[in-house]
Amino acid sequence: MKTILITGCSSGIGRHCALRLHELGYRVFATARKLADVQALADEGLESLQLDLDDSASIHAAVDQVLERTGGTLDVLFNNGAYGQPGAVEDLSRDVMRAQLETNVLGWLELTNRVLPVMRRQGGGRIVMNSSVLGLVALKYRGAYNCSKFALEGLTDTLRLELAGTNIHVSLIEPGPIESAFRKNAFAAFNANIDIERSAHRETYEAVVTRLANQEPGKEPAFTLTSEAVLKPLRHAIESRRPRARYYVTFPTHLMGLMRRILPNRLLDKLLIKSSD
């Protein structure tokens, strides 16, 4: 039975993949930041642990618990826990940007580095990073999140090169819009950390807030898929003898990946600006 540690399992992709992999026979260690979410995962039959990506002690304690339960082995790490901080770049304070990178990049780095010696010792393993279409292209008012995912992509590519020949395979999954609590959490982060009244982007912000307030409940952007769309590439990344470096998920990711390769920057910028309006 393969063992897998998954972060960010309170909702969305993490929760769905944890439950489905458990059904498929994996021994899943599902983690979440809040104790209430950890208990909810346990109530659904998962081995659940608290893991706060902003807290080094929490990361090390969670890995220690997993290794104690498995006898010192771990087959797969699925780095998934993240959040989005909206706002124009000029409205992002150093502290707000630091918080975004702590969760979305540095916490993943520390957790990965804690697991790598285990995989080296056992002669192999799989590390899967859940990135985003915004790790391929940038969109307006997503600067903090864009930055975190671009950084993650570079870090992951480097790690893959450094681990060549070790039988530890590293893959990126790059979803576009997926049904989850991501947008709700991002809106909360926006309200908590962006000063609308003093911003040069005030009119744009107010229009977005009005649109979100009047949006029909459950209405998702075009091309949005369920979390099940991520399960298939995740399984390939952890089961295939030759996992891919990258897995595109959803039509927007395939489209953006293609446009980035073939279009000149000026034309690509025009299309990205239009798609953000």
The span from the CA of 239 to the CA of 102, in Å, is 30
Contacts 24+ apart (CB under 8 A), 219-223: 220/177, 220/179, 221/177, 222/177, 223/176, 223/177, 223/250, 223/251, 223/252
Contacts 24+ apart (CB under 8 A), 153-156: 155/105, 155/109, 156/129, 156/131
Alpha carbon distances (Å) from 236 to 132, 145, 242, 247: 18, 26, 9, 9
Amino acid code (one letter) for 208: V
Residue 26 catalytic?
Answer: no
Please tell me which residue in 145, 205, 247, 248 is annotated as part of the active site.
145
The span from the CA of 49 to the CA of 34, in Å, is 10
Cα-based angle 10, 18, 153 (whole degrees, multiple of 5) = 80
Structural tokens at position 183: 């947008």
User: Which residues are catalytically annotated?
Assistant: 145
